Structure formats: C-alpha cells, structure tokens
C-alpha cells in the first residue's frame, strides 16, 4: 500500500496532539469520540485529494488512552500503525527536550521514513484485547498487594508493639481485599479463555510444559496476541530480553550477554518459571547441575533454561500437541 499522508499523534489522557506531515501543520483534539471525528475531518481537509486508505496514522501504545483511538480508526477502516516506545526511541537517537508537539512530529517523520517497511496494525480479537486489560489490571493488584506486605514488615521494625496492632489490622484487611479482587480477576480471565476454543487450547498446551504456570501462559498468549505477532520463539526471546547477544569489537572478546532492552514483565515471569523447572523437572535439574559443575555461571544457565521453556511453549502451540517429557521413559 502506498500512503500519501502521514499523521503523527501524541496520545495523552485527555488530548491528542496531531502533526500532519503533508503541509506541516499541528492541531490538538480531545481524546474522545467527538475529538476523534474532528481529527479525521481536519486531516481530510488538510491532506488534499487523498483516499482514506492512503492516510497513515501513527501513535505509541499508551494502554487505555490509545485503545479507543485504535478502535475508532479500525471501525472506519483508516490505516494506522501502533509504534512501540522502544522502536521510536531507537529511531530518534539522542535528543534534547520534549514536548507533545515535537513528539507528534517525530512520529509523523518516522512513518514517512519507514513507510516502505511498515505494515498497518491489525487489532487482535476482542477477547485478546479484554484479556490484555485484565492481565494488566491483575498485575497492578499484585504489585499493590506486595507493597502492603512489604510495608507491614517495615512497620514491625519501627513501631512499638502496643501501637503495631492498628497497622497490622489495617494492612491485613487491605491485603485480604486485594486477594479477593485478584481471585475475581483470575476467574474472569479463565472465563474469557473458555470463550474462545483456540485460546483455551493454547493455554492448555503451554501449561503442559513443566515449569510454566497459568499466569505465564496467559502472559504469552496476551503478548503474542494468540501467537500471531512472533513467528518464532527466538524473535520473542529477543523481545523478552532472554536472547544472548555477542559483545565483541575488533580483538576484544567480551562476555555474551542478554540485552537490557526488554519486556521486563515477561522476563521476570520466565525467570520464575526457570527456577520452578529446576526444582520440579528432573531433566532441567540435571541439566542445571551439570552445567554449573562444568564452570558455567548460574545466571547464564538459568537463561538457557528460560529459552528452553520458551522454545517448548512455541513448539507445543505450533504442533498442537502437549509437551511429552521423554526423560521419564529413559531407563
């Protein structure tokens, strides 16, 4: 598709800063349905004689603030591209200062420069969109619970015993409430998974891999949008920050390391899964002990196991068969 007009949008909670590259003009609209309609009308008025399919809107993913805009553009069949913050940051290089107007212009320039390689974003199914929101919400609740648990431990060290009961009772009540809400969200996630046979099948297949638990299975489904965004586990490993990269220059030969540019959420989950696998999977336990005894570092060995789990998750989904632990059949 050849695009003729490139529209960069900086999305915030209440407004949309829009830059139109065609005639280098800027405008601000409210971030609601009426504002979205006015935005499109303004773009059509200022883009000249172009068809709707020749427009390309671009914006960063900002969660709930950008989701309604994406749904609006999809509803009216207007091409758009959702840019990851990391992708845009890499393209801009070093920059000084920041403003919403400058950000929208940068996005428009990015669309123009990369137009030959860009493929308009296609939103996942409504079920996956709902799963993504619930998964993010659950993560927030879990963080809040962890904060309260940590805080009560801090109070135990600084508050006298006769005054501590008030804090303990208050924190215990809040933690119990958060536990209940997390369970409610998890039940809704389970209901959504049962709503689509394909997603439920993927969920069950991933859980057949020893070491991977329910929440990591949901995370993989959400982040890969039902295993449609990444065509191999290696590409996802790069996204997750578990893919090792060489550290060499000329005669210098540094240690191979994983990149800090990663989705830390899934990287943390995979680390927990690797630890579980070492404990409860005889195969992984033997592999870990053998590699460490050979002088390999524990962290690099843990990373290998993270990637093994990832490759198995992708394999069972692609084969559409449960993981088979062949080690138990070996005498």
| pTM summary value | 0.81
Compute the average pLDDT of residues 283-308. Answer: 93
Confidence of residue 231 (pLDDT cuts 50, 70, 90): confident
Compute the average pLDDT of residues 277-291. Answer: 92
CB count in 10 Å sphere of residue 294? 8
Task: Name the nearest CA neighbour of 6 among 98, 125, 112.
Answer: 112
Confidence of residue 292 (pLDDT cuts 50, 70, 90): very high
Q: Would the pLDDT of 102 be above 80? A: yes
Compute the average pLDDT of residues 238-256. Answer: 65
Q: Would the pLDDT of 318 be above 60? A: yes
Task: Name the nearest CA neighbour of 139 among 189, 93, 98, 204.
Answer: 189
Q: In angstroms, rounded to a whole number, what is the distance separating the alpha carbons of residues 22 and 17?
A: 16
- Give every CB contact of residue 285 below 8 A, 6+ residues apart in sequence: 278, 279
Give the per-residue pLDDT at 95.
56
Q: Which CATH class is domain 5-113?
A: alpha beta
How high is the mean pLDDT of the chain? Answer: 88
Confidence of residue 254 (pLDDT cuts 50, 70, 90): low
Which comes out higher in pLDDT, residue 256 or 63? 63
Buried b (16+ CB within 10 A) or exposed e, 110-145: bbbeeeeebebbeebeeebbebbebbeebeebeeeb
pLDDT in tens, 86-96: 666 666 655 55
pLDDT in tens, 140-150: 999 999 999 99
Give the per-residue pLDDT at 243.
81
What DSSP designation does 116 have?
T
Q: Of all residues in the chain, what percent carry a pLDDT higher than 90? A: 67
pLDDT in tens, 176-227: 999 999 999 999 999 999 999 999 999 999 999 999 999 999 999 999 999 9
Phi, psi (rounded to 5 degrees) for 233: -65, -25
Compute the average pLDDT of residues 36-52. Answer: 91
Q: Would the pLDDT of 2 be above 50? A: yes
Q: Would the pLDDT of 303 be above 70? A: yes
């Amino acid at each position: 598709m050849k695009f003729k007009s490139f529209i960069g949008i900086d999305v915030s909670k209440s407004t949309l800063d829009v830059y139109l590259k065609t005639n280098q003009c800027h405008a601000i609209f409210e971030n609601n349905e009426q504002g979205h309609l006015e935005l499109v009308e303004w773009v059509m008025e200022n883009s000249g004689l172009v068809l709707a399919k020749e427009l390309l809107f671009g914006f960063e993913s900002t969660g709930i603030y950008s989701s309604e805009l994406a749904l609006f553009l999809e509803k009216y069949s207007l091409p758009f591209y959702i840019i990851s913050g990391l992708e845009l940051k890499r393209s801009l290089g070093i920059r000084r200062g920041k403003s919403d107007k400058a950000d929208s212009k940068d996005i428009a320039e990015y669309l123009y420069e990369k137009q030959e390689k860009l493929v308009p974003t296609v939103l996942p199914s409504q079920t996956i969109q709902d799963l993504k929101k619930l998964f993010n919400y659950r993560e927030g609740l879990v963080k809040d619970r962890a904060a309260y648990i940590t805080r009560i431990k801090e109070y135990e060290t600084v508050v006298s015993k006769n005054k501590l009961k008030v804090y303990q009772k208050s924190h215990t009540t809040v933690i119990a409430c958060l536990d209940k809400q997390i369970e409610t969200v998890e039940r809704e996630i389970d209901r959504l998974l049962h709503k689509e046979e394909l997603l439920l099948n993927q969920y069950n297949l991933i859980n057949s891999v020893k070491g991977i638990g329910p929440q990591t299975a949901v995370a993989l489904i959400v982040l890969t949008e039902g295993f449609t965004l990444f065509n191999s586990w290696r590409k996802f490993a790069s996204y997750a920050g578990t893919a090792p990269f060489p550290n060499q220059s000329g005669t210098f030969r540094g240690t191979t390391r994983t990149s800090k540019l990663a989705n830390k959420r899934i990287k943390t989950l995979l680390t927990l899964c690797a630890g579980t696998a070492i404990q409860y999977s005889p195969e992984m336990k033997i592999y870990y002990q053998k590699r460490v005894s050979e002088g390999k570092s524990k962290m690099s060995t843990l990373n290998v196991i993270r990637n093994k789990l990832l490759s198995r998750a992708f394999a069972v989904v692609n084969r559409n068969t449960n993981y088979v632990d062949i080690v138990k059949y070996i005498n």
